[in-house]
Amino acid sequence: MTSLRYCTWSSKDKEWRWRKLRGPGALDEKGRKVFLHVGRIPYFSIHGENKELFFLRSILINRPCRSFADARTVEGVTYQTYKEACVALNLFVDDNEQERVMEEVVGLKSAPLVRQCFVSLLVFCEPANCLQLFERFVRWMGDDFALWSNEHRLPDLSEANRSRVLKALQDLLAEHGRYLDQFNLPMPLLHLLPGGERGESSLIRQETEFDLDLLTRQAEDMEESLSTEQARIYHDVVDTVLAGESRIFAVNAAGGTGA
């Protein structure tokens, strides 16, 4: 970092060059003119794959650092992540806004919707302390599990229901390509869950758990509303499936025509 006060990188010639002595600056202990700023640092948006780069950049443009460990050190405390160091430096607001959102949702929505809201905050808002936010609202996120296990009168969730909440959050995060450990959240204790809940994804359950009779009635009702051409195509496809045959169907129609 010290060299950047004296030198600048030439991307054209791929070499370091001495800064030109012009503009406001200051003298160092050897009487050399230095500039009280660092060269341009690339911008990083917050994303699951580069969020630590974003927080490291925020630290570098606000204070000098001698090493990566020094960048994570605030008032003698070395934090595990740059994000934690940014919070300690008060570079970002705390999670009060996210907490207010959760408080409002808890009073209006059911437990599954509370879990969905929590996952949305994790993925899109990047709370400063995800574990603390989880611990505060885990009781409401598992209210349906507590009711099913006749534990809804207890002030805290049992370890089994807590693991059910974490498993549900894990499935919801998987839909966004994210994982619990990316947010410093614990993994569910699968041995506490019933066998059917341990390894099966919620996406698989959604595709396999359905009411066949209800779907049959809906298909019959919708069939009556098909046009002549639509009905012909529909019956061709259904007959092929029922006969166990293999055919290729190509439908050529303008968008919005229902084809």
- CA–CA distance, 77 with 131 (Å, rounded to integer): 20
Residues 217 and 203 placed together within one structural domain of the fold: no
Residues 103 and 118 placed together within one structural domain of the fold: yes
Burial of 214 (0-12, 13-18, 19+ CB in 10 A): exposed
Residues 38 and 64 placed together within one structural domain of the fold: yes
Q: So what's the pLDDT on residue 138?
A: 92
Give the total number of structural domains in the chain.
Answer: 3
Average pLDDT of the residues in 187-210: 65
And the tokens for 10? 């030439």
Report the chain's mean pLDDT, rounded to a whole number: 78
pTM above 0.75, yes or no: no
Note down the domain range covering 159: 96-207
And the tokens for 207? 């595709």
Residues 152 and 193 placed together within one structural domain of the fold: yes
Residues 118 and 219 placed together within one structural domain of the fold: no
Inter-residue contact 130 to 122 (CB < 8 Å): yes
Residues 137 and 157 placed together within one structural domain of the fold: yes
Q: So what's the pLDDT on residue 215?
A: 81
Q: Which of the residue ranges 54-68, 73-87, 116-130, 194-208 would you say has the lowest mean pLDDT?
A: 194-208
- CA–CA distance, 141 with 112 (Å, rounded to integer): 7
Residues 70 and 151 placed together within one structural domain of the fold: no
Residue 141 has pLDDT above 90, yes or no: yes
Residues 195 and 243 placed together within one structural domain of the fold: no
Task: Name which residue leads in pLDDT, 133 or 83.
Answer: 133
- CA–CA distance, 219 with 210 (Å, rounded to integer): 14
- Going through 64-218 in order, the beta strands assigned E by DSSP cover 73-74, 77-78
Write out pLDDT tens, residues 57-109. Answer: 888 878 878 888 999 999 999 999 888 888 888 876 666 778 878 888 888 77
